[in-house]
Structure 1
Amino acid sequence: MKKKLGLSILFVTLSSLGFAQDLTQVKKDIEAERYDSAKKTLKSLIKTNPDNGKLYYYLGDVYLAHKESDSAQAIFNKGLLAKEKGFLNNIGLGILDLDAKKNADAAVKFDKASKEIKKKDVDETLLIAKAYIQSENPNYKLAIEIINKVLATKVDNAQAHLLLGDAQFASGNSNEAYSSYRNAYDYDNSVILAKMNIAKITKNAKAFNQAVKSFDEIVKTNPNFGPVYRELAETYYFWANSEQDKYQDYITKALNYYEKYMSLTDYSLDSRMRHADFLILAKDYKALEKEASEMKKLDNINPRILRYLGYAAYENGNFAESSKALTEFFVKVDPKRIIARDYLYLGLTKMAEAKKADGTYDEKIFNEGVVELNKAVEKEPSIAGELNPIGRKMFNDKLYKNATKLFEVAIKNPKSKNYTLDNFYLGYALYLDYEVKTSPKEQLTQADLAFSKVIEVSPTTQDAHLYRARVNDLINTPEAKNLTLTSYEQYIKILDDKGDAEKAKPASKRGLIEALTHVGAHYANTGQKDKAVENLKKLLVVDPTNKYASDTLKAL
C-alpha cells in the first residue's frame, strides 16, 4: 500500500511538473509569436486538464492576438466554468469590453478577477495591467497604477518592470520606459523582450546604426527568437527611407530579415498578414500578390486577404483583378475595419478602369474614383501627400480637367508635404483648361485662389505670380486688372532679386518680356511717363530688338 501510494504521489508530482513546463513553453511561444504552436499546445492541455481556467485564459489571449474576438469570447466563457482559476477569464472578457469601449463593464470584470487573486500571485494581477495596455482602447494610467502596487510589494519582479516599460513607451515617455526595461533586464537577463524594447527605443530615436548593433547582440545569444528579426527588418526599412542613396541595399536587407522572422514563427495566417503589411511598406507588390494568393488558399473568406490582393493587383497593373478584389472586400469587411488606404486604392482602381483606349477618361467612373479619394483623405489627411505624382501624370498628358479634380482632393490637407506644389498645379490646370467661351468664370477665381495659397506659403515662387497675373487678366474686372499689374510687378521684382543668371533662363526671359510689356503699356496708357519709361528700358535690356518698346519710348 505504501509503495502504491508513493507511486501515486510521484505520478501526480511528475504530472504537475510536466504541466508547468508545458505552460512555460506556451508562454515562450506566445512571446516569440509562435501563436499556432501555442494554440496547439493549449488545446491539448485543455483536453487533459479541462478544469484549469488558466489554460482557457491563455488560449483566448492567443485568439485575441489573431484578432479573432468571437472565438476568444467563446473560450473565455468556457473558462469561467472551470473549477481552478476560472476567474482569470473575467480578465479576458474585460479586454473585449475595453475594446468595445465598455469601460465600466470591463472594470467590473477586472474587479471580480482581482478579488479572487491571492496576494502572492502577483503575475495574475499583472494580467489586468497587461489588459489595459494591449486593448484597442487602452488606459495606460490605470495600468501603471496596478503595476506600481505590485512593485511596492515585489520590487524585483522583472515582468512588472517590463509591463511598466510598455505602458510608459505607449504613453510617449521613452526615457522612463528605457529605465523600466533596463530594470527588467537587470533583475532577469532572460527577459529578451526587455533588451529588445530598449533597442526599439533607440530605433524610434532614428539612431539606426546603434539599434542594429543592439538587435544583432540579441541575435548572437538568441538566434531563434523571431521577433528580433522583425525589428531588424523595420529598422532597415526606416533607415532606407532616411538615406535614399542606400535605399535599395537597406530595403533588401529589410525584406530578408522579415523572411527570417517568418521562418521562425508559425507561418500562420496572422503572421502572413503581418508579412503582407510589411510588403506594402516596402512596396514589394510582386511578393505581396504572391503572399495574398497563398493566404487565399488558406482562408478564402477573410476580407484582409482581398485587401492585399486589391492593393497588389493595382500596383502590378492588373486593374480588373484589383477592382474585383476590392469590390468584394468592401462587401465582406466590417465597416469599422475599413482604413483610409482601402478608399485610396478603390479610388485609384476606378480611375485606372476609367481610362479609355484614346487616353481620355470615362468621366462618370473617374468621378466615382474621386469620391473614394476624398473619403481616404478625410479619414487620413496624410494620404493627400501621395496624390501629387498621379495628378502630375494627368497634367503632363494634358488631361487638365481630370488633374484639377485630383489636385482639389490633394489640397484638402494644408500640412501635406506637397501642399504648395499641389496648389500650383491646381491653379495651372484650371488656367490651361479654361475656355473663354464655355468655361465658367468661377474656374478662374478658383485658380487665382490656388496661386494666392502658393504665394502665401512661398512668396518668391515667381511662376505663381506670373500665372496669377495671367488669370486675373482673363477675369478682367477692375479689381482683377489691379491684381494683374501687381502680380506682374512682383514677378519682375523677384527676378531682379534673383539676378542675371535667373533672368537668362529661357522660361524666365519669356515671362520677364511678358511682364515688362504689360507693366510698361499700363503706365504708358495711364499717363505715368516715368514708370512707363523705366519698365520699357528694362524691356529693351532683356529684348534689345523689341519693336513695341522702341516705338513706345519714342512716342513718350
Structure 2
Amino acid sequence: MKTVILSSFATIFATLVVNAQDIEQVKKTIDAEKFSDARKSLKSMVASAPDKGKNYFYLGQVYMALEKQDSARVYFEKGKAVKDAGHLNLIGLGQLDLLDGNKSAAESHFTNALAFAKKKNTEEQIYITQAYLKAATPDNAIALVAAKAAVASDPKSALAQVALGDALVANRNINDAYVAYRTASELDKTLLRAPLQLAIITRNAQAFPEALKAFNDILAINSSYGPAYREKAETNLAWAYAKKSLFEEKIAAALEDYKKYMSLTDVSTDAKMKYADFLILSKKWKELETEALAIQKSDKVNPKVFKYLGYAYSENGNPTEAIKSLTEYMSKVDAKKINGKDYLYLAKAKLATSIDDKGVVSNQAKFNESIADLTKAAELNPYLNTEFTDIGIKLYTGKAYLEASKLFELAVKNTSSKSFARDNFLLGNSILFYAESKTAAQKATLTAEFAKANKAYDESIKVGPSNVQDVYYNKGQLNRVIGTKESNAQAVLDYEGYVKTVIAKGDAEISKPAVKENLFETYSFIGANYATTDKVKAIENFKKAAEINPNDTFVKESLQALTK
C-alpha cells in the first residue's frame, strides 16, 4: 500500500512539474505574441488538466489579447471554480469589468482574488496592474499602487519590475520607469520584454537611430522575437512622420519589419488585422483594400473587415462602397468600439458624394449627414483637426463658405494644434465672406455666426501668427459687414490694431500696394466714425488717408467739412 501511495505522489508531482513547465513556456509564447500557438497549447492543457486554474486564466488572457472578450469570459467563469489557483480567474473577470466600465464590480473581484492568494501575491498584483492600465477608462494611480505591491511582494521578480515600469510610464514618470525596466533586465537576462520597453522609451524621445540599434540588439539575442520587429516597424513609422524627406524610405522599412513580425507571430486573421491597422498608419490604401478583401474571404463574420474596406474605399475614390462598408461595420459592433476616425471616414465618403470637384455642395442632405458624422468624430477625437481643416479648405476654395465654417469650427476644438491660429482665421473668413453679399434681413439671422467669427479672429490674434495684421483687417471688415453701432465701434478698434501692426513692420511693409490700399480704407473708415465724436482723431485719420490717395472725393470733402 505504501508503495502505491508513493507512486501516486510521484505521478502527481511529475504532473505538477510538467504543468508548471508548460505554463512557463506558454507565458513566453504569449510574450512573443504567438497567440494562436498559445491558444492551442492552453486548450490542450485545459483538457488534460481541468483542475489547474492557471490554464483557464492564461487562456482567457490570450482571448483578451485577441479582443475576444466573450470567449475570455467563458474560460474565466469556468476557471474560477477550480481549487488550484482558480482565484486568478476572478482577476480576469475584474479585467473584463474594467473594460465594461464597471469599476465597483472589478474592485470586488480583485478583493476576492487577493483574499484567496498566498502571502506572496506578486502574480495577482501584476495582473491587477495591467487591468487598470488597460481599462476602458484607465486608472493609472491605482495601477501604480498595485505595481508597487507586486514589487514589495517579490523585489526580485523581473515581471513585477516590468509592471512597475508600465505603471510609471502611464503616470508619466519616465525616469523611474527606465530604472524599473533596467532592474528587470538585470534580474532576468532572458526576459526580452524589459529591454524592449527601454528601447520604446528611447524611441519616444525621438532618438530613432539609437532605438533601432536597441531593437536589433534584442534580435541578436533572439532573432525570432516578433515584438522587436513590430517595435522596429513603429520606430520607422514614427521616423517617417517626424522627417517628411525620409517618409517613403522609412515607410518601406516599417512595412518590411511588420511583415517579419507577422511571419514570426502567427498568420491568423488577428495578425492580418494588425497588419491592416499598420497599413492605415502607413497610408498604403491600395494595399489595405487588397488585404481587407483577403481577410474577408478567410473570415466572413469579423465586422472589423468592413472598417478596413470603408477606409480603403474612401481613400481609393469609391465613396459609395465606403459608406456601405462603414455603415455595415457600425451596425455590427459595440458602439464603444466606434472611434473618431471611423466617423471621419464615413463623413469623408458622404462629402465626396455631396460636393463636386470644385468644392461646391451639390447634395445638401448628404452634406448635412457628413457634418453630423464629422461632429461625432470631433467629439471622440479632437486631434483629427488636420483632416477637418483639409476638408474645410476644399469647401472654402469652392466658395461654399458657410459649409466650410462648420469644418473650421470642428478644427479649432483642438486648441493645442499647430494650425490653431490659421484655422481660426479661416473660420472667421468663412463667415465674413458668406455674409458680405447678404441683405440686412439675412444678416439679422446670422447673430450666432458673427459671434463665432469675432471669437475666432480674437483667438487667432492671441496666438500672434505672422499674418496677424490680416486678422485685424478682416475682423474690422466683419464688424463693418455686421453694421450695427456697436460693431462699427469694434471695427474702429480692429482697424487701429491693423494700423499699429503694419507700422511696426516698417516702411517695407507700408509701401506694399495691397497694404497701402488697406491702409487707405482703414484710415477713411476710422476718420468717418470719429467725425461726430472726436474731430481731432477724425482729421488725423483723413489726412493719413489723403497722403495715400489725395484725389479721393470722400476724403477731400470730409476734411473740408471738418476744418471749417
TM bracket, shorter-chain basis: 0.7 to 0.9
| Partners of 1:393 and 1:384 in 2: CA distance | 14
Alpha-carbon shift at residue 67 of structure 1 (Å): 1.4
Q: Which amino acid aligns with 1:28?
A: K
Within 5 Å, give how 1:221-236 maps onto structure 2.
Answer: 221-236=221-236
Q: Which amino acid aligns with 1:426?
A: L
| Partners of 2:109 and 2:395 in 1: CA distance | 57
| Partners of 1:123 and 1:530 in 2: CA distance | 79
SS in 2 for 1:76: helix
Which segments of 5 or more consecutive residues in structure 2 lack a partner in the other structure? none
Percent of residue pairs bearing the same amino acid type: 39
- Structure 1 residues 409, 158: CA separation in 2 closer, same or farther (over 3 Å shift)? closer
1:194 aligns with 2:200: no
Q: How many residues align?
A: 555
Alpha-carbon shift at residue 32 of structure 1 (Å): 0.7
Q: Which amino acid aligns with 1:468?
A: K
SS in 1 for 2:399: coil
Aligned mate of 2:456, from 450, 455, 474: 450
Alpha-carbon shift at residue 531 of structure 1 (Å): 5.4
- Structure 1 residues 304, 538: CA separation in 2 closer, same or farther (over 3 Å shift)? same
SS in 1 for 2:279: helix
Contact 1:521 1:532 in 2 (8 A): no
Alpha-carbon shift at residue 237 of structure 1 (Å): 2.1
Number of the residue aligned with 2:36: 36
1:47 aligns with 2:47: yes
Comparing 170-179 and 297-306, the one that deviates more: 297-306
- Structure 1 residues 548, 477: CA separation in 2 closer, same or farther (over 3 Å shift)? closer
Q: Which amino acid aligns with 2:480?
A: D
Number of the residue aligned with 2:499: 492
Contact 1:356 1:362 in 2 (8 A): no
Within 5 Å, give how 1:167-182 maps onto structure 2.
Answer: 167-182=167-182
Comparing 122-131 and 10-19, the one that deviates more: 10-19
Number of the residue aligned with 1:480: 487
- Structure 1 residues 510, 16: CA separation in 2 closer, same or farther (over 3 Å shift)? same
Aligned mate of 1:469, from 476, 480, 484: 476
| Partners of 1:69 and 1:403 in 2: CA distance | 42
Contact 2:389 2:423 in 1 (8 A): yes
Number of the residue aligned with 1:245: 245
Alpha-carbon shift at residue 4 of structure 1 (Å): 12
- Structure 1 residues 150, 514: CA separation in 2 closer, same or farther (over 3 Å shift)? closer
- Structure 1 residues 131, 414: CA separation in 2 closer, same or farther (over 3 Å shift)? closer
| Partners of 2:442 and 2:381 in 1: CA distance | 33
SS in 1 for 2:446: helix
User: Which TM-score applies when normalising by structure 2?
Assistant: 0.87
Deviations 1:490-511 (A, max 9, x none): 3223222112322344432332
| Partners of 2:529 and 2:134 in 1: CA distance | 70
Number of the residue aligned with 2:423: 422
Alpha-carbon shift at residue 264 of structure 1 (Å): 1.4
- Structure 1 residues 233, 524: CA separation in 2 closer, same or farther (over 3 Å shift)? same
Contact 2:340 2:380 in 1 (8 A): yes
Alpha-carbon shift at residue 259 of structure 1 (Å): 2.0
Number of the residue aligned with 1:26: 26
- Structure 1 residues 432, 167: CA separation in 2 closer, same or farther (over 3 Å shift)? closer
| Partners of 1:338 and 1:167 in 2: CA distance | 27
1:441 aligns with 2:441: no
Q: Which amino acid aligns with 1:483?
A: Q
Comparing 271-280 and 332-341, the one that deviates more: 271-280
- Structure 1 residues 389, 222: CA separation in 2 closer, same or farther (over 3 Å shift)? same
Alpha-carbon shift at residue 285 of structure 1 (Å): 2.0
Which segments of 5 or more consecutive residues in structure 1 lack a partner in the other structure? none
Deviations 1:267-297 (A, max 9, x none): 2222223222222222222222222222222
Alpha-carbon shift at residue 197 of structure 1 (Å): 0.7
| Partners of 2:244 and 2:512 in 1: CA distance | 30
SS in 1 for 2:213: helix
Number of the residue aligned with 2:284: 284
| Partners of 2:527 and 2:13 in 1: CA distance | 104
Number of the residue aligned with 2:519: 512
- Structure 1 residues 479, 141: CA separation in 2 closer, same or farther (over 3 Å shift)? closer
- Structure 1 residues 360, 169: CA separation in 2 closer, same or farther (over 3 Å shift)? closer
Within 5 Å, give how 1:161-172 maps onto structure 2.
Answer: 161-172=161-172
- Structure 1 residues 212, 507: CA separation in 2 closer, same or farther (over 3 Å shift)? farther
The two structures, once aligned, show a CA RMSD in angstroms of 3.5
Number of the residue aligned with 1:203: 203
Contact 1:101 1:137 in 2 (8 A): yes
Q: Which amino acid aligns with 1:317?
A: G
Deviations 1:408-458 (A, max 9, x none): 333344444333222222222222222333632343734444334433443
Comparing 174-183 and 418-427, the one that deviates more: 418-427
